[in-house]
Amino acid sequence: MRRLVFPIIVASGLVMIGPSTAFADDPAGTVSAPATPGKKVCKIVDDRLDELSGIVATKTGFIVINDSALVDEKRKIFFLDTKCKVVDDLSYPTKPIDPEDLVLSPDGKTVWIADVGDNEAAKDGGDPRAKIALWTMPVGGGSKPVIHRLAYPEGDKHDAEAMLLNGDGTPLIITKEIGKPAYIYQPVGPLEKNNETPVQLKRVGQVTPSATTTNGTPLARIGNKTIDGGAIQPGGAKVVLRTYTDALSGTSPAATYWAP
């Protein structure tokens, strides 16, 4: 066991925010902090954007992606202005499986797309993915996304929906688990472009959210402790991991976690 340190992980100092019902097996749920209503910025009304799974804010508006879209016109990266109107879109050079999360690099120049989900396997009762992909592209578009293929350690298969970047820009994948901790994976070495042989991932930690007392639907109750998204504050001082009902905010800029 070795101790790893990087500036934005959320394994300690978490605050619960937002509307979930505590699990039946965890009756003493954490009392959720009262949610502060957000300010409405704009409304997305484009018919192609009917299952958004990732969004980042840019200087000129927003970039969004759909979740495992089955129709070509929806399986794109969309660029929105500050009023949420689609002003451009960009196709993937090859078909993604299930893009789930978007992350903006600390310098604001690169968009990361996490193709790490596995909705179709979940629907069909199949095994989760053993291999995943990350895509990178300039924040302003202008060129096709570049794919970086990765693989979980032998025997590991996961559905995931959250991605973060650590202090040196290394991608971190947080798995989507029900009834057990979410695992954190990172590449064992530098990413490769358009590689057929995936770069290996290693498990470097885990996050165990507590059940909360936030009200929610039956689906929300199941996902009360399930990580399904992440975001980074500009500058990397804080991150937020989202469950189906709450937002968990890392309060320490130098939090640590223990790797197995």
pLDDT of residue 258: 27
Structure-model confidence comparison of residues 19 and 125, the more confident one: 125
Report pLDDT digits (tens) over 26-66: 445 565 566 667 789 999 999 999 989 999 999 999 999 99
Task: Tell me: pLDDT of 252 over 50.
Answer: no
Element (H, E) at 60: none
Distance of alpha carbon 134 from alpha carbon 132, whole angstroms:
7
Does the pTM of the predicted model rise above 0.85?
no
CB 225 within 8 A of CB 24: no
Token digits for 63?
A: 């970039």
CB 139 within 8 A of CB 104: yes
pLDDT tens per residue, range 158-173? 999 999 998 888 999 9
Count of the separate structural domains present in the chain: 1
Residue 18 has pLDDT above 50, yes or no: no
**Residues 253/14, Cβ–Cβ less than 8 Å:** no
Nearest to 114 by CA among 74, 129, 213, 122: 129
Mean pLDDT value across residues 135-144: 92
Reported for 68-77, long-range contacts at CB under 8 A and 24+ positions apart, including other chains, are 68/97, 68/98, 68/99, 68/117, 68/119, 68/120, 73/48, 74/48, 74/49, 74/50, 76/48, 77/111, 77/113, 77/137, 77/141, 77/145
Q: Which amino acid is at 115?
A: D
Range of the domain at 37: 2-259
User: Which among 251, 246, 245 has a CA at the least distance from the CA of 216?
Assistant: 245
pLDDT at 198: 97
- Percentage of the chain exceeding pLDDT 90: 53
Given a cut of 60, whether residue 7 has pLDDT beyond it is no
Structure-token pair, residue 130: 């053993």
Q: What's 238's domain CATH number?
A: 2.120.10
